[in-house]
Homo-oligomer: A and B are copies of this chain.
Amino acid sequence: MTAYENLTAHIAEYHDLLCILNTLKWDMRTMMPAAGAASRGRQLATLTKMAKSIFVSDETARLLDAAETEGAGVNPDSYQARALRQTREAYEIQRRIPADLVGRMAALGAESEAVWTQAREDSDFASFKPYLKQMLALNIELAEAIGYEDHPFDALVGQFEPGMTAARLERLFAELKAGILPLLERIVAVDEPLPVDLWEAEYDIATQKALCQELTAMIGFDFERGRLDIAPHPFEISFTRDDVRITTRYDANYLPMSLFAALHEAGHGIYEQNIAPELTRTALSADLVGQYAVGGASSGAHEFSSRLWENQIGRSREFWGRHFGRLQAAFPQQMSAVDAEFFYRAVNRVRPSLIRVEADEVTYNLHIMLRTEIEMALLDGAVSVADLPEIWNAKMQEYLGLTPPDDRRGVLQDVHWSFGGFGNFPTYTIGNIMAAQVLAAAHAQKPDLAAKLAEGDYQTLLEWLRENIYRHSRAYSTDELLTRVSGQGLNTAPLLDYLEEKYADLYGLN
């Protein structure tokens, strides 16, 4: 065996352990009886520790050294060279992160999440404040351990979006705000409630479930290699491309909840299912820093696929023009008074709101920017934890024209800060930017794509995405993938064009 093959065999076993961790987490969130939590926590802790000790080991160092020496002449653009570089980089970062810091973050996170849960219920920021202060301190410690050039946020966001920086995000955000805020103002000026409230009716859960199954299969989620289950917080997770699990949640009244969460998670799942088979069990189908078996260029790139299928396809006029009949057959009573165009409008109404997870396509990114800007300011000391509610409310007023009546519906609404992970929020907006950019490129390269989509042919788009994006998994960065299909890296223009075109039409703005 070559040195590279030896390294690959070692990483493959490490990858098996990461997939097993995913299986344990999937079961924990979908199947496990409540009383199993303590046992499962210990099992996860034991296997996580073991996986880390296998990756950050002298054996990895030895195999990596040998493979690098052997591979000195290999084409630097090849999968092999890219896998080697990413393995080396992850190995060095992992070695710089002290094991006890990870342990302290996990321990604080468990306690802090419980405190946050109560604090949110009581709308009592003061009780959560000391935990957030400690969590901020640990995030700063983590950023210092990972290392950065300009801003501590760079180290943290880099865990989810390699190469991204605070400075670049600020430029992207400025462009987005310049486009979105005036559009939102024009929409708000003319928006009116729809004459029928579809979500007063009841929608049988079993029928919803069958619909979710049907729609996700229709866009290309392969049920031979996957499942759809129920989870209170929907997610996607994979145990290699041949076993991809997605989840959704059901509300007896609010039908869009299950449908769009299912399409969103199917979008994630489709990415995983279309990774090149030869990248299975390799460094290019795992986040080696985050110790998480996941393919895709980055968290943001993964979000591109979920947003594309959920919003740009799933919330399009063409999609419901094609499938509203099916919906009406499933819910004849509830849908009797409306047509496809009405349903399209009902699932695309734009309204500034307090809660991120309920936001529409136009306002969603404003929620993300607000949070990301606050994280950056906390990390560089521009604001203190004590000032958070005030800063939050000021930004809500600035971006959305709303002031939360309490912290429960304001600064306390998201779980993220309680258990740790700063740097993750911008991946949602990166996903939105990329989705618009990629779909625009696909249309440019395949002039018949619009006609295919209108006919309900999603396979053509999926195949193009597989060829140009999905199959490469983590081999190329977000910017590299985008440059290959559109000639430039992350670019906000297609997203702004998409929003302007869709919502100017929907609201008759021109």
Q: Which residues does A use to contact B, with CB under 8 Å? A: 12-13, 16-17, 19-20, 23-24, 27, 31-36, 38-40, 42-43, 46-47, 50, 223-227, 239-240, 242-243, 280-281
Contact (Cβ within 8 A) B33 A47:
no
Contacts A33-B226, A224-B33 given; does A13 touch B242 at CB 8 Å: no
How many copies of this protein are present in the complex? Answer: 2
11 A–B pairs (Cβ distance < 8 Å), ordered by A: A13-B50, A16-B47, A17-B50, A27-B27, A32-B243, A33-B225, A36-B242, A36-B243, A39-B239, A39-B240, A39-B243
Cβ of A30 to closest chain B Cβ, rounded Å = 9
Query: Nearest chain-B residue to A226 (Cβ)?
Result: B33
Query: Nearest chain-B residue to A240 (Cβ)?
Result: B39
Cβ of A270 to closest chain B Cβ, rounded Å = 15
Q: Which residues of B contact A281 (CB under 8 A)?
A: 42
Contact (Cβ within 8 A) A39 B19:
yes
Secondary structure at chain A's binding surface: helix, strand, loop or mixed?
helix
Q: Which residues of B contact A227 (CB under 8 A)?
A: 31, 33
Q: Which residues of B contact A239 (CB under 8 A)?
A: 36, 39-40, 43
Contact (Cβ within 8 A) A223 B33:
yes
Cβ of A285 to closest chain B Cβ, rounded Å = 11
Please tell me which one of the listed residues B23, B34, B35, B50 contacts residue A27 in the complex, with CB atoms under 8 A apart.
B23
Contact (Cβ within 8 A) B42 A16:
yes
Contact (Cβ within 8 A) A43 B24:
no
Q: Which residues of B contact A36 (CB under 8 A)?
A: 225, 239-240, 242-243
Contact (Cβ within 8 A) B280 A34:
no
The 7 closest A-B pairs by CB, nearest first: A36-B243, A39-B240, A16-B46, A35-B225, A16-B43, A35-B242, A13-B46
Q: Which residues of B contact A13 (CB under 8 A)?
A: 46, 50
Query: Nearest chain-B residue to A229 (Cβ)?
Result: B31
Cβ of A43 to closest chain B Cβ, rounded Å = 5
Please tell me which one of the listed residues B17, B35, B224 contacts residue A243 in the complex, with CB atoms under 8 A apart.
B35
Q: How far is the CA of A47 from the CA of B23 in the complex (A)?
A: 13
Q: How far is the CA of A498 from the CA of B354 in the complex (A)?
A: 70
Q: How far is the CA of A280 from the CA of B19 in the complex (A)?
A: 25
Contact (Cβ within 8 A) A47 B17:
yes
| Residue of A34, A38, A239 with most chain B CB atoms under a 10 A cut-off | A239
